Structures are given as structure tokens and as C-alpha cells.
Amino acid sequence: MRRASCPVLTVKTAPPKSDAIVASTKRDKAQLERDADDLVTVSTLPNLVEAEIIQNALQAEQIPSFLEGAQQAGIAGTQAVPVKIQVRADDVSRARKFIKRHEARRRVTSRLGS
């Protein structure tokens, strides 16, 4: 074991591997990390206000999200540009389930209110 210049970081030397295995492993790890961080659209909404409501609810559930088209929708008006809610690939199933439950509750509430 050798010590790095940083007092918090300790570097362990690994046994030597062949160059082909190292390159393959690095490529596979990078692909997995990139795939996990890719943004996937989980919902497309007709206006920015609805998208922001769902985005805030997702954030409350610890699901980070991004609104694609939010800037254009804000400039063009609320109904002019559809807004896509996107989450990391790792969070897709959780986000879709949450949005499905959220929309079901909203439909029930709107029926009771009318």
C-alpha cells in the first residue's frame, strides 16, 4: 500500500492485468455509469405549470428530474410547447409509478370537486 499526497486518500496497488482486460473493464464501467445517468422521458405534459407540479412532487420523493422544453414553454406561453419530464435511467420505474399514482389521485380529486 502506498500513501497518496492527500491525507484522506489511500491508494492500493492492484495486481497487474493484461491491457485488453483493463480496457474492456474501463469501457464497461463507463458505459454502465453513462447509462445510469442518461435522461429518460417519463411524461410529456401540455403545459409548464403541470410539469412543475409533478417535478416538485418527484423531488419530494427524492427523484431528481429535469424539464425539457421549460424555457421554450415559458417564453411561448403555457399551452404552446409541451414539456417533457425526464429522470435518470436508474429512476425511471420509480418515477413512472409515482406519476401514475399522482395522476390517479388528481383525477379522483377533480371528479369530486366538479
For the chain, the structural domain boundaries read: 39-114
| Distance set, CA 65 to CA 4, 44, 47, 53, 74 (Å) | 37, 13, 16, 12, 18
Per the confidence metrics, is the pTM higher than 0.75?
Answer: no
Q: 57: pLDDT confidence band, cut at 50, 70 and 90?
A: very high
Per-residue cell: 54: 409533478
Give dist(CA 46, CA 80) in Å, integer. Answer: 8
Q: 82: pLDDT confidence band, cut at 50, 70 and 90?
A: confident
Query: Given this model, what pLDDT does residue 54 score?
Result: 93
**Span 11-43, pLDDT tens digits:** 455 555 555 555 556 656 555 555 667 899 999
Report yes or no: 84 and 48 within 8 Å, Cβ to Cβ.
no
Q: Kindly report the average pLDDT of the chain as a whole number.
A: 74
Q: 86: pLDDT confidence band, cut at 50, 70 and 90?
A: very high
Query: Given this model, what pLDDT does residue 61 score?
Result: 94
Q: Which amino acid is at 60?
A: A
